[in-house]
Amino acid sequence: MSANETDTSGAEATVADAPAENTNRRQPFPRGFLETISDGWADREEAVPQPRAQAPFAAARRSRLSAEFPGRRLVIPAGSQKQRSNDTDYPFRAHSAFSHLTGWGSDAVPDSVLVFEPTSNGHDVTLYLRDRADRTTPEFYADAAVGEFWIGPRPALAAVATDLGIATAHLADVELRPDDLVVDSDAELTRAVSELRLTKDAYEVEQMHLAVAATGRGFDDIVADMPAIIATPRGERAVEGVFHLRARTDGNGVGYDTIAASGPHACYLHWTRNDGPVVPGDLILIDAGVEVDSLYTADITRTLPVSGRFTDIQRRIYETVREAADTAFAAARPGVTFRSIHEAAMGVIARRVADWGLLPVSAEEALDADQGGQHRRYMVHGTSHHLGIDVHDCAQARREMYYDGLLEPGMVFTIEPGLYFQIDDLTVPEEYRGIGVRIEDDILMTDSGPVNLSADIPRTADEIEAWIARATA
């Protein structure tokens, strides 16, 4: 079969022989279509890519992983498309470990598999992927999942090899064996690929800067659009939409479901329904992050007064949360435990709510590791998590490497204290009820101490009021 001929013998049979329940939208191709679909196409010159910037960094990560598993065969799948409903799928996002080890981001091909084949001096690594379903194949027009008539051109195996600096082979040639270590099936390998991301290399740090900068622009967009948001009956959803536009324009999309929680909704920690109004006089808590094309994401929260100015009680609560965040930041330095960030923030929270008369015990009693915790009613979540190619990065790492581990240069993490007084919480005065505040920043640890990557996004109450005033003037 020549390059401009298509074997259509199987395509017609595929359609005709499909189960009846699957054929409502799949009609047989007439003979004239089958005889002419292969002809009349201009020659397409295949672009030869340059190796992408992250290729050498991904190679170094593979070498580190190889050294941990001498003589073992390692398998890291990209994952497959996941069905949303009927014949529609969710947008594909490759497994984080696969992207981290290949350097393949938003353009990764579903069903690809990275295999580490053990050798006498380490591993040979091969990326198996499905070859192109271009116009030389019947899938070109007959398979809506992979056919390039449907989804557009995909890179050839040789182009991927050059792009990523990895040997490639046809997906049909991959062999899985009973003794393979497969990520997400083998606990030891899953732990290792998670811990591999605890410290970021120079490329990852650069990507975090880009993600934070794009997220800052998204917050600017929200503030500038606040009058229209207020006028929208479901203003929370308008906030989500404004940020999503920025995420898709400047990156791959959002790194997680945006929280746009106005008024009492701000007290629900994972409010993503985003179907309420945005009412002047209330606060709106916005927790959002742009995921760039490399799949690294920011994770930033700002709490804004919808009317442009904090009330006295809102300001008191807000500035307490900021004090907790600043205290946690001051406590973060190389060599201290990761948990110390949380302990520093919680010390501020306990003392302040005790000062306000909200605790049945003293702050010191509340901070007792065994008998205390009364202040946690108003901040039940943790203060920090690792951040990177996942919004909750390195989540499968051992506790002694994560929560009980030591902060090291190259680590990227959040600092995100909050105070939340539910609308029906009778333990607080009425003027506190329905107020929720969180401030979240993305922090890079360096040899000389922490750097707040999101410091340019207004943080203090005064800065936020000035920010809104400038944007709505």
- Burial of residue 352 (CB within 10 Å: 0-12, 13-18, 19+) is buried
- pLDDT tens readout for residues 243-267: 999 999 999 999 999 999 999 999 9
- Going by C-alpha positions, the residue among 51, 8, 35 that lies closest to residue 162 is 51
Q: How many residues appear in the chain?
A: 473
Instruction: Write the CA distances from 446 to 111, 203, 214, 315, 366, integer angstroms.
Output: 37, 15, 22, 32, 33
Neighbours of 334 (CB within 10 A): 16
Written as one string, the DSSP assignment of 279-290 is -TTSEEEEEE-E
Tokens representing residue 297 in the block: 């994401």
Contact (CB, 8 A) for 413 and 346: no
Domains of the chain and any CATH numbers: 1-39 (no CATH), 49-195 (3.40.350.10), 202-472 (3.90.230.10)
Q: Is the pLDDT of residue 21 over 90?
A: no
pLDDT at 6: 37
Q: Is the pLDDT of residue 12 over 50?
A: no
Residue 243, C-beta contacts closer than 8 angstroms, at least 6 positions apart = 218, 219, 221, 222, 254, 258, 260, 286, 288
* 0.75 exceeded by pTM: yes
pLDDT at 22: 55
On average, the pLDDT of the chain sits at 93
Instruction: Write the CA distances from 286 to 2, 275, 341, 437, integer angstroms.
Output: 57, 14, 22, 10
The Cα–Cα gap between 85 and 338 comes to: 41
The Cα–Cα gap between 196 and 192 comes to: 6
pLDDT at 47: 77
Per-residue pLDDT averaged across 19-40, rounded? Answer: 76
Q: Is the pLDDT of residue 319 over 80?
A: yes
- pLDDT tens readout for residues 108-130: 999 999 999 999 999 999 999 99
- 446's enclosing H/E stretch is strand 441-446
- Location of structure tokens 């690809």: 112
- Strands 449-452 and 441-446, sheet pairing: antiparallel
pLDDT band at 24 (very low <50, low <70, confident <90, very high): low
The Cα–Cα gap between 301 and 442 comes to: 10
- Location of structure tokens 């943080």: 459
Per-residue pLDDT averaged across 95-101, rounded? Answer: 98
pLDDT at 141: 87
In the chain, the percentage of residues whose pLDDT exceeds 90 is: 84
- Location of structure tokens 């899953």: 190
Contact (CB, 8 A) for 292 and 283: no
Instruction: Write the CA distances from 201 to 88, 96, 142, 444, integer angstroms.
Output: 37, 16, 43, 11
Contact (CB, 8 A) for 309 and 423: no
Tokens representing residue 3 in the block: 């390059």
**Distance, CA of 156 to chain centre:** 28
- Location of structure tokens 């069905």: 83
The Cα–Cα gap between 386 and 400 comes to: 14
**Residue 420: strand pairing partners:** 436
pLDDT at 1: 30
Tokens representing residue 265 in the block: 């909704």
pLDDT at 20: 43
